[in-house]
Structure 1
Amino acid sequence: MRITIDKRPIPGADKTSAKPSAGSRYPFTVEVSDDATVDDLKAAIAKQVKSMYPDRQRLSYGDKKNILESGSALSKYSIGDNDTVYIKDLGPQIGWQTVFYIEYLGPIIFHYLVYNFPRFFYGTTFEHSEIQHRVYLLVMGHFIKRELETAFVHRFSHGTMPLMNVFKNSFHYHMLSGLNLAYWVYSPASAQGTLLAAKLGNPTIMAILTGVFVFAELSNLKTHITLRNLRPPGTRVRRIPYGYGFDIVSCPNYLFETIAWVSIAAMTRSFAALFFLIVSTGQMYIWAIKKHKQYKREFPDYPKSRKSMIPFIA
């Protein structure tokens, strides 16, 4: 069947007199089979317009602007011969896996540099305290774990994101959990021999908080593995997750990540750690609410007792 590809008209424009601008490639037609999917249509568009690779396209149909979801059949949207599908150029894209590598690499670099080269950042050298050494190992372990999960665990429901977004996303990690956190936590104010180091270095409290951190990290990993196992390789299948953590909240991965950073904030008693905890928890809570609503909208049998991120509360 033949399908017309066009850009959605500007509201209020005179549709009867509107004409394509000079050099415009829209509208144009593509041919697909009667049982074609949205992915088939995107491939046909990309074949005709080389710059519009599938991940760069957002397709919609009808006056209600129904977004066509990858993997769905065109018949699901009652699209037939000689119908018009509208396209939006999402701009240059970057793979989500690459984005994650970039985001988590920043804190690894900043914590390594600030901890190991204090003269460059503080103008002096000193011996790090036990609490500083402990936090360094835990934070480095956290972000190295995230890099390994990106490589070997995560299966992404969306292949790409707009290229410019990587700078906004990276700021959160590179600056807040990277440079800002490292600069204040590893400063001479809590170095070996200071009153603050002695106050923070209670062995029992350090052991408890380290145990909480390790528990949260391992629990977070378990939830990521659960999510991975829901999606067969090479697909974007979505299913209801069950099991450890998922029986009480929709996003236990965010819950356990929050617990991990609570332990870091409690261990350091640093305003920088507290600030990052507040910002990151707030952002994860927003994501959790969005994911929770998506689950409920997509799956009519989704468990009604689950909260989004905070058990029994929200």
Structure 2
Amino acid sequence: MTLETLNLISIIWALIGIASFVLLQYVTAPYGRHVKKGWGPEISNKLGWVIMEAPSFFIILYFYLSSNQSAYASILSLLWLVHYLNRTFIYPFRIRTKGKKMPLIIVGSAIFFNCMNAGLNGYFLAHFESYGLNSFYQWNFILGLLLFISGFFINQKSDHILIHLRKPGETNYKIPSGFLFKFVSCPNLFGELLQWTGYVIMAWNLPAFSFLIWTAANLIPRALGHHKWYQNHFDEYPKNRKAMIPGIW
């Protein structure tokens, strides 16, 4: 595959992501608190999380171990792996959602999504990256790394608060508070979007940009759906909270 072909596929993939964003304004993905019957067979949500996130970890790991990446590209691969190590093998076993299910159709679509994103980004880093040591001193690396670390911290801190809202054995939903929950309903999703924005600034290529488009296409409708759900289920839900971006939206 040539770089031109890879870039063309990335552009087409990004356009499909934009179309998905439009679709998700009308259809709420049925997992988590939005699960409902009628979406086919279901499996344990913990198992579903592992299965659907694993391709993103192992595909990037394969390209990282099987290619002679520069130091800069290696940092990009390792940042990706750190995120998906947590998302695949740690987060699913921290959540207190005993007995909850996830439709297989969600697992299958997420597998395809992760294979495409990891495949495009891993292939670029293995075959087409040309980062030099001077790349570490460029503005985009410094800014991107700061955003990635900040987003990762916000995501982890917010997830910790959400997980510990429930005592062991509890399954009911509660209003989260503290940290950025003072301002938005979904700081965990805001943190993840900030994190991958930083990654794209560091990577500065079309495969990474297409991944950011898909991340936004999934997370923004998700945040809006969560925000509306909180407002509909809790009369006392704070009126001044935004959905995802503090003070804005």
Task: Return the offset for 1:110.
Answer: 0.5
Q: Match of 1:149?
A: 90
One-letter code aligned to 2:82: G
**Which whole-Å deviations, capped at 9, do the CAs of 1:102-157 have from their partners, x for residues lacking one?**
12211111011112223xxxxxxxx4222101101111111011134324422238
Q: Match of 1:211?
A: 146
Q: Please give the TM-score of this superposition, normalised by the length of structure 2.
A: 0.78
**Which whole-Å deviations, capped at 9, do the CAs of 1:5-51 have from their partners, x for residues lacking one?**
xxxxxxxxxxxxxxxxxxxxxxxxxxxxxxxxxxxxxxxxxxxxxxx
**Which whole-Å deviations, capped at 9, do the CAs of 1:186-232 have from their partners, x for residues lacking one?**
32442xxxxx5356332665344323322221221111110011112
Task: Return the offset for 1:99.
Answer: 1.1
Matches within 5 A, 1:94-243: 94-118=43-67, 127-156=68-97, 159-176=100-117, 178-190=118-130, 196-197=131-132, 200-202=135-137, 205-243=140-178
Q: Distance in 2 between matches of 1:283 and 1:175?
A: 15
Q: Distance in 2 between matches of 1:157 and 1:199?
A: 49
Q: Distance in 1 between matches of 2:38 and 2:75?
A: 47
Q: Is the 8 A contact 2:64 2:77 kept in 1?
A: yes
1:151 to 1:90, Cα distance in 2 relative to 1, 3 A = closer
**Is 1:247 matched up with 2:182?**
yes
Q: Please give the TM-score of this superposition, normalised by the length of structure 1.
A: 0.63
One-letter code aligned to 2:124: W
1:189 to 1:146, Cα distance in 2 relative to 1, 3 A = closer
Report the secondary structure of 1:250's partner residue.
Answer: coil
Q: Which runs of 5+ in 2 are unaligned?
A: 1-36
1:308 to 1:294, Cα distance in 2 relative to 1, 3 A = same
One-letter code aligned to 2:102: M
Q: Is the 8 A contact 2:69 2:125 kept in 1?
A: no
Q: Is the 8 A contact 1:101 1:147 kept in 2?
A: yes
Report the secondary structure of 1:164's partner residue.
Answer: helix
Over the aligned positions, Cα root-mean-square deviation in angstroms equals 2.3
Q: Match of 1:60?
A: none
RCO comparison, higher one (Cα < 8 Å, 6+): 2
1:234 to 1:90, Cα distance in 2 relative to 1, 3 A = farther
Q: Distance in 1 between matches of 2:231 and 2:153?
A: 27
Q: Is the 8 A contact 2:63 2:122 kept in 1?
A: yes
Q: Which runs of 5+ in 1 are unaligned?
A: 1-87, 119-126, 191-195
Q: Is the 8 A contact 1:251 1:308 kept in 2?
A: yes
Matches within 5 A, 1:4-15: none
Which structure has the bigger radius of gyration? 1
Number of equivalences? 214
